[in-house]
Structure formats: C-alpha cells, structure tokens
Structure 1
Amino acid sequence: MLKTRAFWIVLALLVGLPLLYFWAALSWSYSEGERAGWVQKFSKKGWICKTWEGELALVSMPGAAPEKFEFSVHDEAVAARITEAMGRRVALHYEQKKGLPGSCFGDTRYFITDVKVADQIPLAPGVAVPQPAPQPAPVPASAP
C-alpha cells in the first residue's frame, strides 16, 4: 500500500512539475515593449508545431541600413491583422519570454500580442508623408 502511494505521488510530481514550469514560463514576461517598422517576412512554419514567424525591418533614419527584428505570433487574430498590414508601417507590441525549451513555442522568444498601423511616416521632425489608404478588393461581377 505504501509503495503504491509513493508511486502515485512520484508520478504526479513528474507530470505536475513540468506542467507548472511551462505555465509559469508562458504566463510570465521577461520584458515587453514595442518595435516599429515594416513587416517584410511573415509565414506559418513548423513540422509539427506550426507557429507564425516574421521579420520586421526597423529603420531609425531614412537611408540607414535596416535592422531586423524577428518575432513569433501565437494568436491567429493577431496574425491576420499583421497579414493585412503588410507593406505599411506598423508598431508591434511584444512580450519576451525566457526559459521556453525547443522551437515548438516559436522560433524566437519575442511574441507579438498587438499590432498598430501607423497613419504617417515621419521623415524628419515636423515632416510626415501620409501613407495611402488600403484599396478595397474588387467585387467580382455575378454571372447573369
């Protein structure tokens, strides 16, 4: 009887502790912030665990070489908003997670939680060029 109880306690610990660790790692953020730029690459990747992976081109000044910010997205609604904003300047709100093993949670440790599309591109202090509004998709003519 004592051996069976000890077996079940050990089994519960072997299952429960990793689950508790993953829950804590996914719900706690090491850091969070925003990055602004142009999404230049965005796709759903993975052999078994499919995650949205992207690349944001950060430009500090016109004419400067862009720095790349690689990110992951878990939320399908956020992924759809990023796809809609391709080609326009965006601000991505991210949470950085530490301690997640493997790439099943994402290729990066920067997880995007919100997307804001910038209405204007500042060229210099006080000078901005408005971005063109997205054009609606043409409605196909119905056959008579």
Structure 2
Amino acid sequence: MSSFRPRGAVLPILTALLGGLILLVALYTWTTLSYNYSDGERAGYVQKLSRKGWICKTWEGDLALVNLPGQPAEIFQFSVRDDAVAEQINKLVGKRVALTYEQHIGVPTTCFGETQYFVTAIQAVE
C-alpha cells in the first residue's frame, strides 16, 4: 500500500508546525524577560535618556560611572521598560543617582530594549 495523502492534509500539518514554532518563540521570550541572570545597583550620573526605535519604542540611557578623579568615566548603558521609571530618571538627569537593574540575557529582539540591563528603580544619591 502506498501512503498517499491528499493535498488538503498538508495545510493542517503546516499550520500546526507554524503554531508550535510561534508558541516556542513566545515561551522563550517570556522566559528571558521573566527570569533575570543578575541584578544589582550602579551609581553615577545619568547623562542621557531617550525614547528610541522605529516600530518598538524603548527608553535607552547612559549612566556615567564615577571612578577616581582625573580618570575617564565608564559608561553603563541601560534600558527602561516602565514609563513611570523613565519619568523618574528624566527628572534626575545630570544628578548623582543609584540605578537598580536586572540583567536579562538572550532576549531575542530589541523591541524590549537595546541592552540586556533593565532599570527597575532609581534613587537620588546625596
């Protein structure tokens, strides 16, 4: 006996495979955004915070980490997913702050942020 399948049976199989692939990508994305690899704080001066992107608008910023006097500052690049946190950061641009962040490795697209460091809170440092 031959294993002949009518053409109409191919479409449901392709649809199921495509649906399964989309589900796997969605599950992977959710996992990378839900669990963080590391977290911590960085202190310095917020130099820039801007909303960037053609389709996916994200908040991206730079924090100048203060080293020893006379040394060039190291720049810590970060992303912000929460508009309320971005608003707080905008109010403190140019002032010394401590940023609380989470590091998410392997996020598959820049629609969630261009860096792997996502700021979750900010506090002014006197």
TM-score by length of 2: 0.84
1:24 aligns with 2:31: yes
**2:87 is matched by which residue type in structure 1?**
A
SS at match of 2:94: coil
1:76 aligns with 2:77: no
Higher relative contact order (CA 8 A, sep 6+): 2
SS at match of 1:63: coil
Matches within 5 A, 1:79-118: 79-118=86-125
Structure 1: segments with no counterpart, 5+ residues: 120-144
Match of 2:53?
Answer: 46
Structure 2: segments with no counterpart, 5+ residues: 1-8
Q: d(CA) in 2 for partners of 1:115 and 1:99?
A: 24
Q: Quick check: 2:43–2:99 contact (8 Å CA) kept in 1?
A: yes
Q: Quote how far apart the aligned CAs of 1:9 are.
A: 4.2
Q: Could you list the runs of 4 or more consecutive aligned residues of structure 1 that deviate by over 4 angstroms after TM superposition? A: 2-9
Q: How many pairs were matched up? A: 119
Q: Deviations over 1:12-42 (max 9, x none)?
A: 4122111111110110111111100000111
RMSD: 1.9
